[in-house]
Structure 1
């Protein structure tokens, strides 16, 4: 179980149990969540409300303990062609520059081990 300072909880497990996320699923959900919570308000701030915004985030293991490329696929419904242009520009900018999770993966953030 992971718990944050605000009291939210997420059940984590190996994937054999019902109602839990695997660590890899959480990583992919973090990529998607980071993108969505950044894209939606930035698109709205530019005057375009999206009618639907969802996404699929996928990756496959290329080795037993290593993921291959992560693919983010948006499922979006926009009210106009202009809104589509704004959404696409914002989504690309968020992917390249503003999503902390995606950028950290792309840049290869160092993970340190601190044993007691």
Structure 2
């Protein structure tokens, strides 16, 4: 079964090296290029990619485990190496590490027991972001009239 549902964001330049992405529901996030001289802390596009991978998996895992117990700690660290070689600039060695703790109790035991399966299911089929990266979906670029 194949399901298609378009998603989109609009990215607008707000200043030199500064942008804002807005989704169809009106949500927005600012980002840009980072330099050592930046007074403002901003996410770079690569950091947004890492956040999207971690966030997508976090949502999947939280839904699965949260049915059984509220975590006392839920943290996802996403890291990778930025390389520049004959294939161009890209990220390699992407890793997603979950640190999740639950209180004592029967529900918490069930949540702990399903945690590894939930992480695996997110990676193998549920997380649209990491699945897109792993499959290697082509990106088409165009220039529209202003």
Q: TM-score, normalised by structure 2?
A: 0.71
Per chain length, whose mean CA-contact separation is higher, i.e. which structure has more relative contact order (CA < 8 Å, sep 6+)? 1
Aligned residue runs from structure 1 range 49-88, under 5 A:
49-63=70-84, 65-79=89-103, 80-88=108-116
> Is the Cα contact below 8 Å between 1:15 and 1:21 reproduced in 2?
yes
Task: Give, in angstroms, the shift of residue 81 of structure 1.
Answer: 4.8
Structure with bigger strand share is: 2
SS in 2 for 1:69: strand
Deviations 1:5-43 (A, max 9, x none): 222221111112323110000000000110111110112
Instruction: In structure 2, list runs of 5 or more residues that go unmatched.
Output: 1-19
TM-score, with normalisation over the residues of structure 1? 0.88
Question: How many pairs does the alignment contain?
Answer: 115
The structure 1 segments of at least 4 consecutive aligned residues displaced by more than 3 Å after TM superposition are: 79-82
Q: Which runs of 5+ in 1 are unaligned?
A: none
Q: Say which structure is richer in helix.
A: 1
- Please state whether the residue corresponding to 1:50 is helix, strand or coil: coil
Structure with larger Rg: 2
